[in-house]
Structure formats: C-alpha cells, structure tokens
Chains A and B, each alone.
Chain A
C-alpha cells in the first residue's frame, strides 16, 4: 500500500502497539534546554532512574542567556539558577552539552541542524513546540511536555497515537521580496491556528522545493502555529548537501548507506492524505500579522478586520479583543502604523540566510530615529559566519544592535523585552498578548519586512524600498 512520508517514518519507529492502538515509538534524537528539563531530571533522580541513551541527547541553554557580554554571567538570579541547574544535570547524567561560551551554543533548533545532529528519517523531540523546525530534513520532529521529556530520557521512547496526514501543496514561484516567512504566514492565515490540530503536515510543491534548507526550516518551524505538532518536507539533494560534512553527520561508508535510505523517504504515488490544502504563491504580497494570534494574517496592503463583519459571536469577540490589545481602529490600514522596536532573530529567522536577507535591505540605510533595532544571531556559528561576510558591520552602521546568540526577544525570558505599549516588527513566531513583554504589541514579519519597518519607523511594504 502506498505510504505518506509521515507513515514511513512512523512505521519505522514502532517498538510496540497496544490493543487500543496506542503506540510506543522509538526516539532517535532528543534535544534539551534549560526551561523545560529541570523537573524531568528531578523526576529521574527521585525515581532512581538514569538516562537511557545519553549520546542520543544534546543539551544547550538558550532561553535565559543574555545576548550582551556573556563573560559577566547572568544577572537575573532565577535565570542563572535555571542554567546552572541544566549544567549540573547534564554533568550528573552524562548528557552532551554546549556551554554558554561555546561557539556552538545557540537556539536549540538552530544548533541541531548546524551540527548534523538532525538527520532525515529520524524521530526528534524536545521540550519545545518549535521542534517542528527539524521536519525540514524529512525527520518527524515535535515538541513535548516535561513529563514526556522525562519519559524519553528514561526510555528513549514515547507513548503516542498516530497523527492524521495533511498535505500543504505550495505552487508557483515566490515573487521578489517575499521569502519562506511570507509563505508560512500565508499558510497559517489560510488554515487557522487550530487548522492543523491532530495532523502532521507535509509541505510539498515547487515553491517548497525551490526553498533553501534555511527557508524550509522557517516553514516547518511555524507549523505549530497552525496547530500541527510536526511539519515535514521530503529530503532531496539540497538536504544531503546541507548535512554532509557537519560534525555529527555520518561519514564514509555510513554516509553512503544513509543517503541510500534517505532517498526512499518521500510520499509514494497514490498515497492518500486526510486533508489537502493548496496555496499558489505567484502573486503573494509580503505578509504581516495584525492581531494576537498567528492566524491574524494580512497582506501588507490590506486593512485590519472589522468585527462587525464577523457573524460568529466567539470569533467576533476575539477580533474585538485583539483590536483593543493592539490599539487599532476597526478596518484601519496596517501600512504606516508606527513601530518603536524591531527584532531580527529566533528559531524562525535566526539563520545565516535570514541575516543576508535583512542585510541586503539594511545596507546603506539608517534605522529611523526612536526605533530600537536588535539583530540576534541564532547561534555562535551563525554569528561567526555573518561576521566573516561583513553583515555585522552593515547592521551596526545602519543602527542595529548586533548581539550574542539566544532566544532573546522572541519570548523575552532574558532582559530583551518590550515595555507596555511598545510596538515591534518581529521575525519571531508568536504575537500572543504579552509574548515579547507585558503590554507589548507584536507584528510577525519576514527579515526583509522587519528591516524595512526599522528604516521607515513604521510598518511598511518592503517592495517600495526597492
């Protein structure tokens, strides 16, 4: 029987199937960070359990780390304790770890692919919903809670039921000044934030194939914002080229053997999906969120909705609430709205290609007066690469702050956060109330659109900058 890519990976990881259909699946790769792991390690300690396979695990601190001078340590005592707790746990349980002063340190979902820890056909989990990122390599990757982190540490398996299959087929050629971020925002706008609940999404079509690995990671990363735990893309030559030679990637004969297998990882002709969504990106305009849910997506030339047009009472109330929080008038234009903060970075858009895209717009221009603009590389290696290419100078000359790597203002667990009433054009993944700081207002955009907003001091159409 023809199988989907998801079905193939799932079937290859079945350890046991109970009579009621609950499956025990094997987990190949487990990434760990400081926020969602302390209680899991504590649970192991209390029960006298060990880590089943430390070498299948990789830990890094990212959420709490300062993006300013690292040598001074972490000022906030709770943040410091959380990072120190991770350090003592990895030591006690023998888990590989990149220290905060290691050049390989960075946002967990940038580090995994960069090191060749992320491989096609693998099951990959992390106590973090943006684990979906790794699906760009044709791996089944999803976020889990802390109890499940403990379960994976102890057993290298998880109890799961199979998800349903959704195909998102993206056709056409992406226009200039649009990138992977615009594609995924458009998809979420179309399916809604609960549209993917219960599904694993496979992204396919010529517009997906045309994306770089970085772009594919951006698309898969935000799958969770469409409600699906995992998004995946069939591996191809681009995938293999990206992985080859990375420190933890297979080498020699093992590499050849792996590639042979990886070439079988695609959906078979005639395999059926429970749901199919199509999107033609030929005429896509730069996308932006107006509200407090990632499904509140508009083209930059469009207007904020009017709740009076919404027949469903619950949806109408949610539009009213979002308009109130974002301090908008019903039906107003989104373009031209003043911003005072710009954030470029995160596991969504913190890779080298994102900084190249941003620098191309920033070059020779200046950040508008009164705008605070942060450029935060996703890892030490991304930072190093950007500096080798001279991108840091472009950002600094334009008036950006060029920072140390980490999650930073995506969720504001460190000192990088919005104050009440601040409005931010952000390349991150969530625009929830208070996400980037209590009372802060977030507009999700691509790196190019974020820079355009920094230059103009307002939400603007990057295409008009030329």
Chain B
C-alpha cells in the first residue's frame, strides 16, 4: 500500500450532506474487475450532462479545482454501500484526503486500505475549512499526518484525531494481510479451540 505522510493541495468544497456511494461512483461502473480507471467516472451523474459533456456547475469541472487532492464535504460522507470502488474512484482521480464532520463506517475503513486519509473535524472547523476551500486554487491546505494537523491558507492550524494503529499503517504503507499472517499461530489456536467448543460451526 502507498504511504501517506504529508500532503499540500487544493481542497474542493462539497457542502452537501449524505454524499452517498451511488453519487461517488454509480453502479454501472461497478462492473469492472479492476481497481484502477474509475477516476473518470467519479461523481459521474453530477459531473457530466446527459450528452456526456462536463457540467460546468460541478466543482471538479471548474479550473480552480481540477487538480484538487482534498475534498471538504458535508456530514455523513460515504454513506450507503460497502463498495470500495468509492475510495478507488476518488484515489484514481487524485483525491487523497476527505474532510467532514462524519463518515459512514465502511467507507471510512475502506479509505485506510488504500493509503487515503479521511479526517473527522467538528462543525466549526468544517465551516472554516469549507470557507477556505471556496476560495479556489489560491487556497491550499496542508495535511500532516505525523503532527495530525491541517494548516489553512492563512497559516491557521487545526489538530485532528486518528486511531494510532491506522496512523502507523498509513505512515508505513503496511499490508494488513501480511501483518495478520504473522499471527497465524494465534489463528490456528483459535480454530482448534473453536472446533472443540463449537463443532457445529465446522461443516
């Protein structure tokens, strides 16, 4: 997995509540058997008009935000399905950080598996960062995972919380499965005990 340490980039404002996984990547693009290539269909229904041309109203189609690497979004980002295609599409487009007041649990978890950082902040902080993001390409944010800070264009700094283990895995770019397989003895012991205690679970 790709490491994440520090990122400075343009933040796109999306002041919409409940941005769901169907908005992020509609189902017709879930038919792929690959992880890559979903960026062009990120936010497809909001981003393109019926004739396939870009919707100029949509934030990521505006010159100031085409190269955004951060999204500042309304509450409950990523609600809906478990599709990891949602973080894959964001990542493929170039979005590495999403900042909101809350995230749906599965989406939040999926981000960390892809070297991406979802950041929860309080409402006042979100409003401030949303204002910053509204200022366009001149207003970049710096997200530092080591110090757990977001620095705004005016130099103002806010701290954010993150689970220690998740932070460690992101900083080091660790592969979960490899880590777990180091505990294979414990898994074997658990299974042996379970077979004895709950034999009906084995068929």
Partners in one complex: yes
Question: B18, A193: Cβ atoms under 8 Å?
Answer: yes
A150 to B84, CA, bound (A): 12
Question: A197, B31: Cβ atoms under 8 Å?
Answer: no
One of B165, B184, B191 near A22 (C-beta < 8 A): B165
B132 in the interface (beta carbon within 8 A): no
A197 to B87, CA, bound (A): 18
Question: B35, A227: Cβ atoms under 8 Å?
Answer: no
A173 in the interface (beta carbon within 8 A): no
Q: Tell me which residues across on chain B come within 8 A of A122, comparing CB atoms.
A: 201
A78 to B109, CA, bound (A): 28
Closest Cβ of chain A to B14, distance in Å, is: 11
Q: Tell me which residues across on chain A come within 8 A of B62, comparing CB atoms.
A: none
Question: A433, B45: Cβ atoms under 8 Å?
Answer: yes
B146 in the interface (beta carbon within 8 A): no
One of A49, A146, A227 near B105 (C-beta < 8 A): A227
Q: Tell me which residues across on chain B come within 8 A of A143, comparing CB atoms.
A: 81-82, 106
B135 in the interface (beta carbon within 8 A): no
A434 in the interface (beta carbon within 8 A): yes
Flag the segment in A177-185, A315-323, A376-384, A450-458 that touches B: A315-323
One of B163, B177, B201 near A161 (C-beta < 8 A): B163
Find the B residue at minimum CB distance from A96. Answer: B203
B32 in the interface (beta carbon within 8 A): yes
Within 8 A of B (CB), among A100-142: 119, 121-122, 127-129, 131, 142
Within 8 A of B (CB), among A1-57: 15-16, 18, 20, 22, 24, 26, 28, 35-36, 38-39, 42, 47, 49, 52, 55
Question: A434, B26: Cβ atoms under 8 Å?
Answer: yes
A328 in the interface (beta carbon within 8 A): no
Flag the segment in A234-242, A253-261, A389-397 that touches B: A253-261
Chain A 404-442 interface 0/1 with B at a Cβ cutoff of 8 Å (1 = within):
000000011100000010000000001011110010000
Flag the segment in B3-11, B89-97, B192-200 that touches A: B192-200
A278 to B140, CA, bound (A): 45
Q: Tell me which residues across on chain B come within 8 A of A411, comparing CB atoms.
A: 22, 27, 81
A364 to B182, CA, bound (A): 64
Interface extent on B, as a size class? 35 or more
Question: B18, A430: Cβ atoms under 8 Å?
Answer: no
Chain A 198-220 interface 0/1 with B at a Cβ cutoff of 8 Å (1 = within):
10000000000000000000000
Pick the most buried of B176, B177, B198: most chain A CB atoms within 10 A of its CB.
B177
Question: A227, B79: Cβ atoms under 8 Å?
Answer: yes
A55 to B30, CA, bound (A): 27
A190 in the interface (beta carbon within 8 A): no
- With known contacts A20-B165, A318-B16, A430-B80, A147–B110 Cβ distance under 8 A: yes
A47 to B23, CA, bound (A): 32
Q: Tell me which residues across on chain B come within 8 A of A42, comparing CB atoms.
A: 33
Interface extent on A, as a size class? 35 or more
Question: B80, A151: Cβ atoms under 8 Å?
Answer: no
B69 in the interface (beta carbon within 8 A): no
A314 in the interface (beta carbon within 8 A): yes
Question: B104, A227: Cβ atoms under 8 Å?
Answer: yes
A144 in the interface (beta carbon within 8 A): yes
Question: A229, B190: Cβ atoms under 8 Å?
Answer: no
Question: B201, A413: Cβ atoms under 8 Å?
Answer: no
Pick the most buried of A85, A145, A194: most chain B CB atoms within 10 A of its CB.
A145
B102 in the interface (beta carbon within 8 A): yes
One of B50, B74, B87, B177 near A150 (C-beta < 8 A): B177
Q: Tell me which residues across on chain A come within 8 A of B113, comparing CB atoms.
A: 145, 147-148
A303 in the interface (beta carbon within 8 A): no
A26 to B189, CA, bound (A): 11
A157 in the interface (beta carbon within 8 A): yes
Q: Tell me which residues across on chain B come within 8 A of A157, comparing CB atoms.
A: 180, 187
Find the B residue at minimum CB distance from A295. Answer: B18
Question: B75, A194: Cβ atoms under 8 Å?
Answer: yes
Question: A38, B23: Cβ atoms under 8 Å?
Answer: no
Question: A145, B17: Cβ atoms under 8 Å?
Answer: no
Chain A 281-320 interface 0/1 with B at a Cβ cutoff of 8 Å (1 = within):
0000000000001010000000000000000001101100
B164 in the interface (beta carbon within 8 A): yes
Q: Tell me which residues across on chain A come within 8 A of B203, comparing CB atoms.
A: 55, 248
One of B20, B35, B106, B199 near A144 (C-beta < 8 A): B106
Question: B22, A159: Cβ atoms under 8 Å?
Answer: no
Could you show 28 A-B contacts with beta carbons less than 8 Å apart?
A24-B187, A35-B30, A36-B82, A36-B83, A39-B34, A39-B84, A47-B177, A81-B31, A122-B201, A143-B81, A144-B109, A145-B84, A145-B109, A150-B177, A151-B176, A155-B181, A155-B187, A157-B180, A159-B180, A227-B79, A248-B203, A258-B200, A315-B17, A411-B27, A413-B28, A433-B45, A435-B27, A438-B45
Given A128-B82, A318-B17, 20 other A-B residues pairs in contact with their CB atoms under 8 A: A20-B164, A20-B165, A22-B163, A38-B34, A39-B33, A39-B34, A55-B202, A63-B30, A122-B201, A145-B82, A145-B87, A147-B176, A155-B177, A159-B176, A197-B105, A227-B104, A293-B17, A411-B81, A434-B23, A434-B45
Listed from nearest, the 9 A-B pairs whose CB atoms lie closest are A250-B200, A147-B113, A38-B33, A78-B31, A145-B110, A143-B82, A145-B84, A194-B76, A146-B84
Give the interface of A toward B (CB within 8 A).
Answer: 15-16, 18, 20, 22, 24, 26, 28, 35-36, 38-39, 42, 47, 49, 52, 55, 63-64, 76, 78-79, 81-82, 85, 119, 121-122, 127-129, 131, 142-148, 150-151, 154-157, 159, 161, 193-194, 197-198, 224, 227-229, 248, 250, 254-255, 257-258, 261, 293, 295, 314-315, 317-318, 321, 411-413, 420, 430, 432-435, 438
